Amino acid sequence: MSTRGEAFAGLSVALVTPFRDGVVDVERLQQQVEFQIAAGTTCVCPVGTTGESPTLSHEEHDRVIAAVVEVAAGRIKVMAGTGSNSTEEALRLTRWAAQAGADAALVVAPYYNKPTQRGMYEHFKALAEAVDIPICVYNIPGRTGKNIEPETIARLAELPTITMVKEATGSLDQASQIAALTDLTILSGDDSLTLPLMAIGGRGVISVVGNIVPYDMIAMIKAFEAGDTAAATGWHRKLFPLCRDMLGLSTNPIPIKAAMQMLDRDTGDVRLPLTRLDTAEQENLRRTLTNYGML
């Protein structure tokens, strides 16, 4: 099945932003991109939720995107997070990402101010008319406080630069409705729902666990696309406890940063107001990684 954002089907990885002594660790960031290139990942997504974009300054935000684009050098796609609850700010970020060489923009729904559906449409329309790169509408009402309804997404799909939706509502009904109404490329925003979402027309995932197990996520996606549902289901069952804990033990990206530290890929602490896992949570995470076979 062909969809409009076909080039971004498969595994995209929501990169963490590494810190050292309180500042962005560009060297570690570039190592992450090389790791994903070696794995065969389709796309990397800097400065999204997993990249702690709410606590990055504008200058840091721009620097992370530039560093990722530079090291990617066309070898892997870059979908930069450029969302904001201010349309003017989102316009600046999206224009800058396009100018810096990003292949696409990942734009979260405006958060906190809870716009109407008309406001959602006008916000994304302003961005879509300002840049030529593809835009992925990121719908995560658990964080933003407001759902972008399927009918609104269908209206947005009429704009040529809006080609994808990151579906993080947790609702397969909503995803099914979007698949029925549009030809957008639907990407899962929840690792544990990637296979169910693909079964109803999704084309891949923007993944958190892909930071540590990209090969396994790719194997699951490829198995499903090849029609080997038994193998895809096997991978889903293996990955599920890991996916559950990366988003269930604490707020993302707290668990994934802790996991990377345990796996000798330390990316530094999260920034306040996020805090590290407590001792019991760390033990639970260590048990999950051990059961998976990584420790």
Does some domain include residue 112?
yes
Tokens at residue 241, please?
A: 């406890």
Does some domain include residue 289?
no
Range of the domain at 203: 6-227
Does some domain include residue 258?
no
Q: Which residues pair with 23 in a beta bridge?
A: 20
Does some domain include residue 253?
no
The tally of domains found in the chain comes to: 1
Tokens at residue 67, please?
A: 């560093």
Going residue by residue through the chain (295 aa), what tens digit of pLDDT does each one get? 567 889 999 999 999 999 999 999 999 999 999 999 999 999 999 999 999 999 999 999 999 999 999 999 999 999 999 999 999 999 999 999 999 999 999 999 999 999 999 999 999 999 999 999 999 999 999 999 999 999 999 999 999 999 999 999 999 999 999 999 999 999 999 999 999 999 999 999 999 999 999 999 999 999 999 999 999 999 999 999 999 988 899 999 999 999 999 999 999 999 999 999 999 999 999 999 999 999 9
For the entire predicted model, the pTM comes to 0.96
Helix (H, G, I), strand (E, B) or coil at 84: coil
Question: With 0-12 CB in 10 A as exposed, 13-18 as middle and 19+ as buried, what is 241?
Answer: middle
Does some domain include residue 234?
no
Active-site residues, by number, are 138, 166
Does some domain include residue 47?
yes
For CA atoms 69, 71, 73, 78, give the dihedral sign.
negative
Give residue 127's Cα distance to chain centre.
19
Residue linked to tokens 């197990």: 213
Query: How far apart, in whole angstroms, are the C-alpha atoms of residue 252 and residue 274?
Result: 9
Tokens at residue 193, please?
A: 């729902």
Does some domain include residue 82?
yes
Contacts of 281 (CB under 8 A, 6+ apart): 249, 250, 255, 258
Contacts of 252 (CB under 8 A, 6+ apart): 49, 50, 208, 246
Does some domain include residue 11?
yes
Residue 181 is part of a domain; what is its CATH number? 3.20.20.70
Query: How far apart, in whole angstroms, are the C-alpha atoms of residue 228 and residue 236?
Result: 12
